Structure 1
Amino acid sequence: MHKKILTALALAAGAMAAQAQQPVVLKVAHFWPPTALSQQKVLEPWCAKIAKESNNELQCQIYPAMQLGGTPAQLIQQAIDGVADIVWTLPGYTAGRFPSMEVMELPFLTKDAEGGSRAAWAIYEKYGQKDFAGVKPLAFHVHDRGQIHNNKRPITKVSDLKGLKMRAPTRLTNMMVAALGATPVAMPMPQTPDAVSKGVVDGYVLPWEVIPTMKLHEMTKYHSEINPPQPGLYTTLFTIAMNQAKYDSLPPHLKKVIDANSGADFSASIGRAWDESAPPARKQAIEHGNQFNTIGAAEVEGFQKATASVADRWVKEVTAKGYDGKGMLEMARTLSAK
């Protein structure tokens, strides 16, 4: 009898050990194609790193291009609901839902994506945590300098935008486009190439990184740039966020792996990847024979004056919702300037 008990205990222990060694497979969803920088230069290396550091107890199954269904605007809710374990999306796709982090999308705030992304994480830690109940953000980042692209004419001054229908990604970028005299057309990134090719929009504001991925350089005549040392015209905020319940279900040693690969440094590294991607992406538009022009410092001042009202309006709106709008703006400007 004693021998039978020992055998049963040994079998049970063996079964528990085998179960413990079963990997946790994280469903990771995003809206880009699998060839995009986001997957190849960020998600795939990140997944490989957490697999290595967890002895393959953590693994990823990546679902690009909305393969789990839904629309890009629904990704954050998919993370909250557990349809996906991790998503990469724009908080701004759900207008007004995440007021604290909108500050990073105000015009002429950031100089580069790496610094802007580190600033974004700091804003989240101080002001943004209540907005993201139901998910555990792993990173916040911004993209490389947003520029103006269109098929009508070179943009050299604010008045050149008058009457143009311009695609923009989020609530604040649409406010910026309107302040510059154009007609904003809100749509997620995946819809933009079709809208450009059919003339639904005359142009769009986008960073360089994504343009070749969507083959937009093959559909666009004019690229108008605001270059350093001037701050960028705009940027857009992204988040990589994990379902909170999924994170909570992990044993401590696997939580430690996720924590070690999240936060300010991870955010900044994503921004750096975007900064590094801009020159080779831009080169493809040059090789296609498109026309480029730089918006000079004197003209940039006109753009800044035209869009100053966007920040003022944003501060009033979020303050009315109980946020420290002025404090968030001052913190974002201070950090971005560094």
Structure 2
Amino acid sequence: MTFLKTLSIAALTTALAAPSIAQEVTLRFQHFVSPKSANPTYFMQPWADKIEKDSGGRIKVELYPFMQLGGKAPSQYDLIRDGAVDGGWVIPGYQPGRFPEAEAMELPFMVTKSGEEASVAAWKFTQKYLQDDFSDVHLIAAHMHGPGLVHKKGDPIEKVEDFKGLKLRGPSRPATLLLKEMGAISVGMPVPAFPEALSKGVVDGGVITWEMSPSLKLDELTDSHTDVAGEKSLYNLYFIWAMNKESYAKLPDDLKAVIDANSGEMASAWAGRAHDQGDVTGKAAMEDAGNTIAQISVEETARIQALGEKVTEDWITEMTKRGLDARALVEDARRFVAEGKS
């Protein structure tokens, strides 16, 4: 009788504990850069830590850099959609033409040089225009980085004519369109391929942020870093932080609420702010290396802006032919950026 009573108590204890055990989950998120770069340091890891804390330890988010769980950076969206990973960081522009509406946020001189401000605008734009585009993943954040600038071997850029014939890496279709308009030979490639392309002379340089410079060894592989004048960024890149829909759906409601509370405009601004933080240290590292830090004059920047406006108008024409209300996309993107300016 004592044995049966003990067995019954043990069974009851196990039954009561089972739901709690079943609700503990590990989510595997993947990205394609160094864990020491700005977004993983100032957003991804703190976000993962906050998810674990807010869930009372019931959700653990594991971060895998350099695509350690498999696949290449351009395939990240599909890896998340198909459940190869639970979530991760995506640059939609790595698949040119697939998410054309998102390109509106990446057009030349569209956003300010504040990653945080640009990211708030990106989230608002996403809410209005991109819900259908990303309907097969669970969207957590949509954000942008800080100012994109030109990093190259040799002397800095001083005028538009200096771009002529340069082989420059571009991360997205709008960026490569602008480089071509300025006379450069644009070479589209994801960020992991950039250092090797530089070291082998495949490219003379490229456009990317300050914050990525140290992890890509641009202090060693390039000599100069050139930004444009004014408050607007030469170019920018649109990102999403997303989950597999099934991974999200199978969470109990209280754990879904934890993800939800760390999603949206708040998370988007946080991700953009991470790039702003990284830009400060990245620029300092290039200065400490003795590289040339330069800014194109106001007059030459105005010439580049005029070329950028041509790229934008050509984009509007192209996308209108594809059936999009492209001018509305551009006008709303500009409106959201203006609303977010501090």
Unaligned runs of 5+ in 1: none
- Please name the residue that 2:122 is paired with: 120
Greater shift in the superposed pair: 92-101 or 255-264: 92-101
- Please name the residue that 2:132 is paired with: 130
Displacement of 1:7 in angstroms is 6.5
Displacement of 1:198 in angstroms is 1.2
What whole-Å deviation, never above 9, does each CA across 1:108-128 have from its counterpart, x for those lacking one?
011121111000011110110
2:265 corresponds to 1:277? no
User: After superposition, where does 1:1-338 map in structure 2 within 5 Å?
Assistant: 11=11, 14-15=14-15, 17-22=17-22, 23-111=24-112, 112-227=114-229, 229-337=230-338, 338=341
- Give the AA of the match of 2:286: A
Query: What RMSD, in angstroms, separates the aligned Cα atoms of the two structures?
Result: 2.0
Q: Secondary structure at the match of 1:34?
A: coil
For the 8 Å contact 2:38–2:277, the answer to whether it is kept is no
* TM-score of the two chains, using structure 2 as the length reference: 0.93
- Give the AA of the match of 1:256: A
* TM-score of the two chains, using structure 1 as the length reference: 0.94
For the 8 Å contact 2:29–2:86, the answer to whether it is kept is yes
- Give the AA of the match of 1:113: G
For the 8 Å contact 2:147–2:236, the answer to whether it is kept is yes
Unaligned runs of 5+ in 2: none
Structure 1: distance between partners of 2:71 and 2:260:
28
Structure 1: distance between partners of 2:139 and 2:110:
22
Q: Secondary structure at the match of 2:79?
A: helix
For the 8 Å contact 2:31–2:88, the answer to whether it is kept is yes
Q: Secondary structure at the match of 1:239?
A: strand
Displacement of 1:314 in angstroms is 2.0
What whole-Å deviation, never above 9, does each CA across 1:84-118 have from its counterpart, x for those lacking one?
11110211011111122111110001112111100
Structure 1: distance between partners of 2:9 and 2:326:
61
Structure 2: distance between partners of 1:57 and 1:322:
46
Displacement of 1:8 in angstroms is 5.8
Greater shift in the superposed pair: 106-115 or 146-155: 146-155
Structure 1: distance between partners of 2:59 and 2:130:
28
What whole-Å deviation, never above 9, does each CA across 1:27-48 have from its counterpart, x for those lacking one?
1000012222222221111111
Displacement of 1:21 in angstroms is 2.6
Q: Which runs of 4+ in 1 moved over 6 A?
A: 3-7
What whole-Å deviation, never above 9, does each CA across 1:193-246 have from its counterpart, x for those lacking one?
11111111011001100000111121111211124x331101111111111111
Q: Secondary structure at the match of 1:224?
A: strand
Displacement of 1:267 in angstroms is 0.4
For the 8 Å contact 1:100–1:124, the answer to whether it is kept is no
Q: Secondary structure at the match of 1:277?
A: helix
- Give the AA of the match of 2:223: K
Greater shift in the superposed pair: 165-174 or 218-227: 218-227
Structure 2: distance between partners of 1:68 and 1:11:
39
Q: Secondary structure at the match of 2:89?
A: strand
For the 8 Å contact 2:51–2:61, the answer to whether it is kept is no
For the 8 Å contact 2:37–2:278, the answer to whether it is kept is no
For the 8 Å contact 1:99–1:131, the answer to whether it is kept is no
Q: Secondary structure at the match of 1:87?
A: strand
Aligned pair count reads: 336
- Give the AA of the match of 1:85: D
Greater shift in the superposed pair: 48-57 or 14-23: 14-23
- Give the AA of the match of 1:15: A
For the 8 Å contact 1:218–1:285, the answer to whether it is kept is no
Q: Secondary structure at the match of 1:213?
A: coil
